[in-house]
Amino acid sequence: MRKAASTNEIIITADKKQNRCLSCGTMENMKNRKYCSIRCRQNLRQKLNTRSGLLQVLNTRYATFYFSDTTIIMDVLPRGHKEIFRYTQTRTSGRKPAEDFSQMTNMLGTAWWEEEKRTNKKYLASRQVLELATRHTVSLLSVRPSVIKTPTVKTESLNYLKIDKTDLRSADLRKIIKNAYRSQAKVHHPDSGGHAVGFRKLHAAYKELLFWSDNPSFICRRGFPDKWFYDGENKRWVQPMPVCK
């Protein structure tokens, strides 16, 4: 991985093996998967989005949710604040993080409604809930998402030329591509015992990578490698986006 000029921008150049589910934390039969199952990921996303109304009444700009073996944590950065408001809860044995999150946010939501009913003032209810958090003056980068840039290069093309994603950041990329093509052409060219179809695919991959080296483009997303991220502008949660170091 290479950090770009901005300290808040990251370029993905390699795949990182994940051995812990980013939704429930299990390490069983994970291998290099990010989640133990699609249903597990969807369940946590549903729980997070269902309770995003609490973040909206707190006028949240950014928020993150993450967990350890013993604790769940939600960090909130309301608009107009420079401190992070942290809500934590000890995990319940046998429960998944999604269930503990629901319990914690239900308690906070109840506190908000009770104060709003008592005072008939929404801003006082929001203030009451924020006072239940612990304040942290840590770097705002802990809740402000990084811009993650993924090269728009087909993995298949890299595989044909036996080029690693880390080579995409090299100043000698064109030379690497040409050398790799010459090497693989000796194997796949029909005159060397290769197949015409395979050689055409190799040549197409070569042309694609040469074009990309002259016109590099990226898919840009915002997020964290190990935290679920709440985007206050779009009012939705974004799943973790693993980044290789």
The per-residue pLDDT for range 83-131, each reduced to its tens digit, is: 999 999 999 998 999 999 999 999 999 999 999 999 999 999 999 999 9
pLDDT at position 243: 52
| Position 172 pLDDT exceeds 50 | yes
pLDDT tens readout for residues 3-60: 444 434 444 444 445 478 888 989 888 887 888 899 999 999 999 999 999 999 999 9
pLDDT at position 242: 57
From residue 85, give the alpha-carbon distance in Å to each of 52, 66, 111, 200. Answer: 16, 14, 16, 57
pLDDT at position 32: 78
Place of tokens 């811009």: 147
User: Can you read off the two tokens belonging to residue 210?
Assistant: 């040469």
pLDDT at position 121: 96
Place of tokens 């093509």: 181
- Which percentage of the chain shows pLDDT scores above 70? 90
Q: How many Cα atoms within 13 Å fall on the side-chain side of residue 178?
A: 5
Cβ within 8 Å of residue 20, ≥6 positions away: 26, 27, 30
pLDDT at position 126: 96
Cα three-residue angle 69-35-48, rounded to 5 degrees: 70
pLDDT at position 76: 95
- Which percentage of the chain shows pLDDT scores above 90? 57
pLDDT at position 226: 84
pLDDT at position 56: 95
Q: Domain 153-216 class?
A: mainly alpha
| Position 173 pLDDT exceeds 60 | yes
Cβ within 8 Å of residue 102, ≥6 positions away: 47, 50, 51
CB 78 within 8 A of CB 85: yes
* Mean pLDDT of the residues in the chain: 86
| Position 148 pLDDT exceeds 80 | no
pTM of the predicted model over 0.95: no
Q: Where are the domains of the chain?
A: 2-148+221-238, 153-216
pLDDT tens readout for residues 179-206: 999 999 988 888 888 889 989 999 999 9
